[in-house]
Structure 1
Amino acid sequence: MAQGTPETMRTLALRHLPADDAERWLGLLRPAVRLLTAGDKDPVAARLGGIPALPAEWDWPVWEGHGPLSFVASVDCAALPSGVLDIEAPTDGTLLFFYFDGQFDDGRSAVLVEDPATRPGARVLHVPAAAATVPRATPAGLTPFPEVSLTALPTMTAAEPWHPSVREVFAPGAPTGQYEHPVCGDDFGEALWDTEEEEGPSHRVGGHAHSIQNPVEYEVARAALGADTDGYDDRIHADARNWVLLAQFDSDDDSDMMWGDAGILYWLIRREDLAALRFDRAEFNWQCS
């Protein structure tokens, strides 16, 4: 949901919540690395668009039967602030994010979290720091996004009130979804959304995802558990706690990226798979207004 400095988050919580609830809510914040457009003198930690550098022996990611994926972003893991995240993200090498955005087939195919057959339409690759790489030209049929350099800034992130971690604190045992509590109040929610919107595109590594609709962890967990799950049942709630945000990339005018109606792309992964660098097990989701 929202992101901001610890001071900003504390001020908002104490202004809109009872003191005890404010402290409990503040305890649920998670650290993240915000990625924002770099100034001329800012260190560069990531890039939107442009062309990726790949080992010569690696193929450009392709969705078989559909076409090549568009290159979305790269993250220089060694350039991220050290000791900030609460996930075991790589400390070196480069993360590369690819997505079948409809350029190649004029939008006839969509990558949907609820359809496992579309899973090859999004990919995250980790290029080891020691690997020899060369810039790879964009395949025919795709236009690369304009390159935008991003710098890294530590931040704190908040989840929406119906996120599993928040619901367990303020409404344990309640049915998944909305519940009655000040953290669900309009004033508090609008204040958090206003903070997010004032800060520009919401690109980040780690932390809570900025879900536009349902918590993305629920949607990914439901897809991972299979079609026999019914709505947000207990199995989905339990599995959603195992998924963490690896990175999200917002719509961004500077890079000509528009994901649906001002949407966001998300890559999530289970903590144990992240620790093992099993990025082939990462799951993709996207949401828009």
Structure 2
Amino acid sequence: MISSVLTGGRPPERNTAMDWKNILPQLYRSRIDTRFVSHSEQLAVGASKFGGRPDVPTDFVWPVFETDTREDDQVKERPLAFLAQFDCAQLAALDKEGLLPHEGVLSFFYELGSQRWGYDPKDRGCAQVFWFKGPLAPAEFPAELEEEFRLPELAAELSGAADAPDFQDACPALEYPWTANDYRIFDQARRELGMDYPANRSQLLGWPDIIQNNMTLQCELISRGHYLGGSWENIPMEERSALRTPSVREWQLLFQLDTVENGDFELMFGDCGRIYFYIRREDLAQRRFDRVWLIQQCC
């Protein structure tokens, strides 16, 4: 649920201690945990899964992104890797806020050769999300897609849970001018509420498991054309401050993908990192999945 504290409620005074144990439950969101596991039987078309061949309509055009890579300096169009797809009908029972479509398949793609970080407006297109409805069939991999980016197929096990924000999201959500001491109190309250800090978690919706800093402000600033690969000093402090709280309310985590391991296979982002697909809530409601923005964070 999204409390009134996220929709215009009065923020606490600076000289008033934040009662995090009572405030945090008001910020809970519905999260769908995803575990990727081996399977012995053939998965049905449209089933939730990681890797393998995506199930697509007949007019599907495999997405590409023009880039160099970490191994090749040549800038050219490169096919995105298929990461995962989810059966929306299966998600519906776990999506307590009703944010996702109730039919069709959501499919996630990302260019793995360059693994863009999402701090440059020019990164648009390095990650794409599709919502497919109607008859689907497994797509053939494009010949240009390198073998290492044709990921093994794993079944997705899904479960629902309540999710609390990390400190870096909770404070701007509440317009709370935090100090270093606040984190200790926040952390204790979060743990007492049974909200763990997982070493590895992939999920749909909910709040992100942040490795570095809040990402919603980054999404908003990049959407306005700002390059964030260096210092932020060229962005007026007034603009950053004005957008910080609205960004937390407007940008929603769609999919968080952590390291995936299975047998000898491992897909890792940077150094034990994660990728995060964000979308504005308005765009999610209108099913404008072409407007997602990807951010990568790592240790």
Displacement after TM superposition at 1:225 (Å):
2.4
TM-score (ref. length: structure 1): 0.78
Q: State the alpha-carbon separation in 2 of the partners of residues 246 and 56 from structure 1.
A: 26
Aligned residue type for 2:109: F
How has the CA–CA distance of structure 1 residues 57 and 168 changed in structure 2, closer, same or farther, with 3 Å as cutoff? closer
1:158 maps to: 164
Displacement after TM superposition at 1:187 (Å):
5.4
Once the two structures are superposed, residues 112-152 of structure 1 have per-residue CA deviations (whole angstroms, 9 ceiling, x without a partner) of: 32211121111111111x23433322543422111111111
2:243 maps to: 235
Give the fraction of aligned pairs with identical amino acids, expressed as a percent.
26
1:136 maps to: 140
Q: State the alpha-carbon separation in 1 of the partners of residues 181 and 51 from structure 2.
A: 42
1:285 maps to: 295
CA contact (8 A) 1:33 1:81 kept: no
CA contact (8 A) 2:58 2:137 kept: yes
CA contact (8 A) 2:20 2:189 kept: no
1:72 maps to: 83
How has the CA–CA distance of structure 1 residues 146 and 201 changed in structure 2, closer, same or farther, with 3 Å as cutoff? farther
How has the CA–CA distance of structure 1 residues 62 and 37 changed in structure 2, closer, same or farther, with 3 Å as cutoff? closer
CA contact (8 A) 1:183 1:189 kept: no
Unaligned runs of 5+ in 1: 1-17, 103-108
CA contact (8 A) 2:36 2:260 kept: no
1:59 maps to: 61
Q: State the alpha-carbon separation in 2 of the partners of residues 158 and 213 from structure 1.
A: 17
Once the two structures are superposed, residues 182-234 of structure 1 have per-residue CA deviations (whole angstroms, 9 ceiling, x without a partner) of: 4444853895999333xx63111110011111122122122112327346422
TM-score (ref. length: structure 2): 0.75
Once the two structures are superposed, residues 81-121 of structure 1 have per-residue CA deviations (whole angstroms, 9 ceiling, x without a partner) of: 5263325211111111111111xxxxxx4423221112111
Displacement after TM superposition at 1:72 (Å):
0.8
Provide the secondary structure at the position in 2 that maps to 1:223: helix
2:50 maps to: 48
Q: State the alpha-carbon separation in 1 of the partners of residues 245 and 187 from structure 2.
A: 27
2:24 maps to: 25
Aligned residue type for 2:64: V
How has the CA–CA distance of structure 1 residues 38 and 68 changed in structure 2, closer, same or farther, with 3 Å as cutoff? closer
CA contact (8 A) 1:32 1:155 kept: yes
1:265 maps to: 275
2:5 maps to: none
Provide the secondary structure at the position in 2 that maps to 1:195: coil
Aligned residue type for 2:261: D
Once the two structures are superposed, residues 240-276 of structure 1 have per-residue CA deviations (whole angstroms, 9 ceiling, x without a partner) of: 3200011111111125211111111111111111111
Aligned pairs for 1:160-239 (under 5 A) are 160-163=166-169, 165-169=170-174, 172=176, 174=177, 178-180=178-180, 182-185=182-185, 188=188, 191=191, 195-197=196-198, 201-227=200-226, 229-230=235-236, 232-239=240-247
Q: State the alpha-carbon separation in 2 of the partners of residues 28 and 190 from structure 1.
A: 12
Q: How many pairs align?
A: 257
Aligned residue type for 2:108: F
Q: Which runs of 4+ in 1 moved over 6 A?
A: none
